[in-house]
Structure 1
Amino acid sequence: MKRFIKIVAAVAALSMLLTPAAAETSGRQTYTGEIDGAAFKVEMPERWNGTLLIFSHPYYPDGMPAFPPGYGNRVDSERFFLEQGYALAASDFRGRTGFVVKEAVRDQIGLLDWFEQHVGRPRRTVATGSSGGGTISLLLAEQFPRRIDGVLAMCTPIDLYGQLNMSLDINFALKTLLAPQDPAIELVNARDPKMSVSRLQAAIAAGIETPQGRARIALASAFGNVTGWNSALDPKPSSIEGQIRALAAITSGGSVGVFGAVGQADLASHAGGNPSYNVGVDYARQLLKSDQSAFVRSAYREAGLDLGKDLARLAAAPRISAEPAARQWMLRYAVPRGTAPSPVVTLHNTVDLAVADHERWYAEQVRAEGELRQLFVDRATHCAFTVAEESVALDTLLTRIDRGRWPTTDPRRLNASALALGEDWSQVYDFATNTDAVRPPAFATYRPSPLLRPSR
């Protein structure tokens, strides 16, 4: 039988409405409630090992279905880590959806305060998160270095400002090349952001049906270094058309659907104006820097198009300026500086819309190089990790925290450790098909390309 205890408590300057609820008689405890308007959940294992994992959830677009905050990159992550004895905590953040990075850091530290006062002081506290939540975890450790013992950031667009500017580049190229005469498509400060997104997605849907349109979709996607592989379960398409159809799905759903005009409007509402810009960007030079350059040239040859003419069209198109105060807001609240004194482990797929190039950029920012280990899983799509791979990444971090030295991160050892956890923890989720399937661990040695539009 479940026991429900309702408590209303005021702690320090925080207004906390708490509804702790004891779990089944397994000995575990579940606490839910609000801290200054941000919903939270804390899960305690039957036997706590003294480690708290505080999880930051990803960027949620407007309209995301409401559900209780939880832990982990996968829905089964929570069960696994509770069975291992970890305490888990997660805030849903004030505002919940959209670009709430500033609020997220404040709400996570408020949750850590609550945990220490109502549950106990952890022996070690690890900040972790997936996608945009990984950036939040890094920011949390940088702003509160004495409270966080280590960070595990998964599938993270670490330079969020750079990622959003690359998304703008993709949207700008798509509009200029596929729908230049459509006045309803506005990329920033849009009067009707949803209509802008819908019209640009329609242009992609029409363009994908012709070789010329496909070549232009490939060119636009190259400005974000996006690879035409959209399945965690199936191999990369072998044909140019197959790869561009994968690019169209990734770009339409992500760069346009989430981070196009609607995402830019949300971003501007938090930053106090538009921070995104492409003034001064030389797209011909960006293509030369892109690791998709050769692929784009092949697509243009197949389509019988003149790549130089399309690059000239991009060069001549009116540019978008950032508002200085909004740009400074982004640099202050949304871009890690690489100054966290605690150890950091990052986990990234080799192919992802949030490109692994962020890892190379972050490694260049970290002041204490010995405090960073970057792990790569050779698989496509966003956050396509198994619980076993997530566990091995966490063990790597905890070994460094506990012993003061890093274990070997040779992919063979990492894969053997993940394999030993068994098939129950080897499910991979595939965004493209909305399905799960068992896959062997895929840690690999990988060197990402440079980030095309770093914020600094």
Structure 2
Amino acid sequence: MKPGPHSAITTTPRVLAAAAATLCLSVSAGSAQESGETKQVTGVFDDGQEWQISVPQDWNGIVINDLDSVGNVEDGTMRATFFLNNGYAYTGTRRHPDRNTNWDPKAESDNMVRVLDQFEEQFGEPEHAIQFGCSGGGSVGLSVAEDHPDRFDGVISMHASTPVELANMRLDLAISLKALLDPEGDLNPIIADGDQAAAREAWQTALNEAAETPEGRARMALATAIAQYPVWGSQGSPEADLPDWNDPESLQDAMVRVATDGALRSVTGRPMWDNPAGLMSWTTDIDYHAFYANASEQQRDLVASMYEKAGLDPETDIAADIDKVNAWPRVDATAEGIDYYRARTHTGKIGIPVLHISNIGDGGTPATVMAGYVAKIAREGTEDLYRQAFINASGHCTFNEAELAAATAAMVKRLETGEWADLDPEAMNALGASAGEARFVALDGDHGFRLPEQFNRAFFRDSEVPNL
């Protein structure tokens, strides 16, 4: 095999070293086994993005490509060990070094093909090539399904979003909290790169203070409902327990937690959206009363109960507080910022099967944003290629091995049979049972989440933006 440009090929035992640590790759959950050798090729593309290819000796003919595979192999994450121990070649990149200041979703998508080029040059054409990813990696997966259906066969996209839609959801939350909790203060919903640490500290302090009062808690809950955030969840802590649906205090605590985690992520993640070309979010012409009406009935009932507990009138005071949000100075996007992402936004015009998955308790990238992609899929008429599944857990990218096994098995079945198998929660949980306990759940209204019929921030390439 001839190494490609800027690459190095090594042969390593199935026990991969990550820095000074040693990672035992197990064939199944709970067991450790060293069997055969894993060939690994590494390199750097001419744009500075690192890539790697790991192929187990007992390769099953399927490639799993991942935006985050370099770090996963180095760190010995569950994701890397699962794929390699079960015979999949695991390939992909590390996120681009200037991603926080010069994020280019199209370039990331194109580099996924370059990794596959390297693989085919050195190991031959795979039986199936599946793009996998979570968060930014999940978003790249959606891009691959639209940009490169001729090279990849399927996509497993977890906790993915479309930039303009998610950035606008986050702006709705931050603006609502600013208007309701800190109208005369110094909190800033939109910050520059380098200000993240100071902004996090200031917002954390203000949110903690608000959470100490019934009035503050009620208004935090209102802001989450306006922005279509979930009733419960967190940004990165799987320890956030599911609330007790029979305990109003537990539910109220959950909504406060979502407002806190969501706001911190909304503000500190802001520079990445705006750095490439300018401000790409707006509140111009938004009616936040209409946005609140699109919240679930369950969530609006919870907000009303929190207002009542605070000694406020649920009808008049909620309406008055939404008036305050509507009266807050409007934010205008820049034409340059919108045009940059307009050319790079998802369209829903997929050419290969896509399995789109999220935790329902993700407080940073709410699963609600998936409704925006559903709208794109419906517009393009690609519903037959698209399926969704939901995990009853909190946190961002906190899926477990059983859920990873189920998602992979479901996609492989789709590629081998040409038809989607049963993807209801019971079937998905059964697919993952050999690797542990999967937590797939139906959106039946009993778990504090629904995919809204009307997504507040749907955006298409031909969408008009006010004041541009």
Q: After superposition, what is the alpha-carbon deviation per residue over 1:307-349, rounded to whole angstroms, capped at 9, x for unaligned?
A: 222112112110100002211222221x321112111112222
Q: Which amino acid counterpart does residue 58 of structure 2 have in structure 1? A: R
Match of 2:204 among 180, 201, 204: 201
Query: Are the counterparts in 2 of residues 186 and 193 from structure 1 also a CA contact under 8 Å?
Result: no
Counterpart secondary structure, 2:343: helix
Match of 2:340 among 309, 317, 329: 329
Look up the match of 1:126.
130
Counterpart secondary structure, 1:379: strand
Q: Structure 1's 191 and 86: CA in aligned 2 closer, same or farther, altered over 3 A? A: closer
Look up the match of 1:30.
40
Look up the match of 1:357.
368
Counterpart secondary structure, 1:146: coil
What displacement does 1:122 show?
Answer: 1.5
Look up the match of 1:81.
83
Q: Structure 1's 192 and 406: CA in aligned 2 closer, same or farther, altered over 3 A? A: closer
Q: Which amino acid counterpart does residue 421 of structure 2 have in structure 1? A: P
Moved more, 128-137 or 403-412: 403-412
What displacement does 1:289 show?
Answer: 0.8
Is 1:252 paired with 2:270?
no
User: TM-score normalized by structure 2?
Assistant: 0.81
Look up the match of 1:429.
none
Counterpart secondary structure, 2:420: coil
Q: Which amino acid counterpart does residue 115 of structure 1 have in structure 2? A: F
Q: Structure 1's 315 and 387: CA in aligned 2 closer, same or farther, altered over 3 A? A: same
Is 1:266 paired with 2:266?
no
Q: For 1:74 and 1:252, how far apart are their aligned partners in 2?
A: 31
Look up the match of 1:416.
430
Query: Are the counterparts in 2 of residues 127 and 151 from structure 1 also a CA contact under 8 Å?
Result: yes
- What is the correspondence of 1:96-115 to structure 2 with a 5 Å cutoff? 97-98=99-100, 99-115=103-119
Q: For 2:413 and 2:73, how far apart are their aligned partners in 1?
A: 21
Look up the match of 1:137.
141
Q: For 1:194 and 1:441, how far apart are their aligned partners in 2?
A: 36
What displacement does 1:257 show?
Answer: 2.8
Match of 1:445 among 442, 463, 466: 442
Q: For 1:52 and 1:309, how far apart are their aligned partners in 2?
A: 55
Look up the match of 1:368.
382
Q: Structure 1's 197 and 100: CA in aligned 2 closer, same or farther, altered over 3 A? A: farther
Instruction: State, as a whole percentage, how many aligned pairs show the same letter.
Output: 26
Look up the match of 2:169.
166
Look up the match of 1:223.
226
What displacement does 1:403 show?
Answer: 1.6
What displacement does 1:223 show?
Answer: 2.5
Q: For 2:74 and 2:295, how far apart are their aligned partners in 1?
A: 32
Counterpart secondary structure, 1:374: strand
Q: After superposition, what is the alpha-carbon deviation per residue over 1:11-36, rounded to whole angstroms, capped at 9, x for unaligned?
A: 5xxxx422323212722112222122
Moved more, 229-238 or 358-367: 229-238
Q: For 1:235 and 1:100, how far apart are their aligned partners in 2?
A: 36
Query: Are the counterparts in 2 of residues 178 and 207 from structure 1 also a CA contact under 8 Å?
Result: yes
- Which consecutive residues of structure 2, in runs of 5 or more, have no partner in the other structure? 15-35, 444-449, 461-468
Query: Are the counterparts in 2 of residues 35 and 111 from structure 1 also a CA contact under 8 Å?
Result: no
Q: After superposition, what is the alpha-carbon deviation per residue over 1:275-311, rounded to whole angstroms, capped at 9, x for unaligned?
A: 0111111111111111222221211111123222211
Q: For 2:354 and 2:302, how far apart are their aligned partners in 1?
A: 34
Q: Structure 1's 339 and 330: CA in aligned 2 closer, same or farther, altered over 3 A? A: same
Counterpart secondary structure, 2:180: helix
Query: Are the counterparts in 2 of residues 179 and 200 from structure 1 also a CA contact under 8 Å?
Result: no
Q: After superposition, what is the alpha-carbon deviation per residue over 1:204-253, rounded to whole angstroms, capped at 9, x for unaligned?
A: 01100011111111111112322342375633145444444434444434
What displacement does 1:190 show?
Answer: 8.2
What displacement does 1:445 show?
Answer: 2.5
Q: Which amino acid counterpart does residue 260 of structure 2 have in structure 1? A: S
Query: Are the counterparts in 2 of residues 41 and 70 from structure 1 also a CA contact under 8 Å?
Result: no
Match of 1:46 among 54, 57, 64: 57
Is 1:388 paired with 2:393?
no
Match of 1:309 among 299, 311, 320: 320
Q: After superposition, what is the alpha-carbon deviation per residue over 1:49-100, rounded to whole angstroms, capped at 9, x for unaligned?
A: 111110123xxxxxxxxx9422699921222221221101121132264345
Look up the match of 1:20.
9
Runs of 4+ in structure 1 deviating by more than 6 angstroms, as ranges, are 71-74
Query: Are the counterparts in 2 of residues 51 and 86 from structure 1 also a CA contact under 8 Å?
Result: yes
Q: Which amino acid counterpart does residue 442 of structure 2 have in structure 1? A: T
Q: Structure 1's 96 and 80: CA in aligned 2 closer, same or farther, altered over 3 A? A: farther
Q: Structure 1's 387 and 151: CA in aligned 2 closer, same or farther, altered over 3 A? A: same
- Which consecutive residues of structure 1, in runs of 5 or more, have no partner in the other structure? 58-66, 427-439
Q: Which amino acid counterpart does residue 174 of structure 1 have in structure 2? A: L
Q: After superposition, what is the alpha-carbon deviation per residue over 1:339-372, rounded to whole angstroms, capped at 9, x for unaligned?
A: 1211111222233222332333323322222111
Q: Which amino acid counterpart does residue 117 of structure 2 have in structure 1? A: D
Q: For 1:384 and 1:449, how far apart are their aligned partners in 2?
A: 23
Q: Which amino acid counterpart does residue 282 of structure 2 have in structure 1? A: Y
Match of 1:340 among 326, 350, 367: 350
Q: Structure 1's 180 and 370: CA in aligned 2 closer, same or farther, altered over 3 A? A: same
Q: Which amino acid counterpart does residue 208 of structure 2 have in structure 1? A: A
Query: Are the counterparts in 2 of residues 55 and 71 from structure 1 also a CA contact under 8 Å?
Result: no
Query: Are the counterparts in 2 of residues 214 and 241 from structure 1 also a CA contact under 8 Å?
Result: no
Q: For 1:416 and 1:263, how far apart are their aligned partners in 2?
A: 37
Tell me how large the CA RMSD over aligned residues is: 2.7
Q: Structure 1's 192 and 88: CA in aligned 2 closer, same or farther, altered over 3 A? A: closer
User: TM-score normalized by structure 1?
Assistant: 0.83
Query: Are the counterparts in 2 of residues 176 and 313 from structure 1 also a CA contact under 8 Å?
Result: yes
Counterpart secondary structure, 2:107: helix
Look up the match of 2:18.
none
Q: For 1:218 and 1:385, how far apart are their aligned partners in 2?
A: 26
Q: For 2:76 and 2:300, how far apart are their aligned partners in 1?
A: 34
Is 1:149 paired with 2:159?
no
Counterpart secondary structure, 2:209: helix
How many residue pairs align between the two structures?
414
Counterpart secondary structure, 1:321: coil
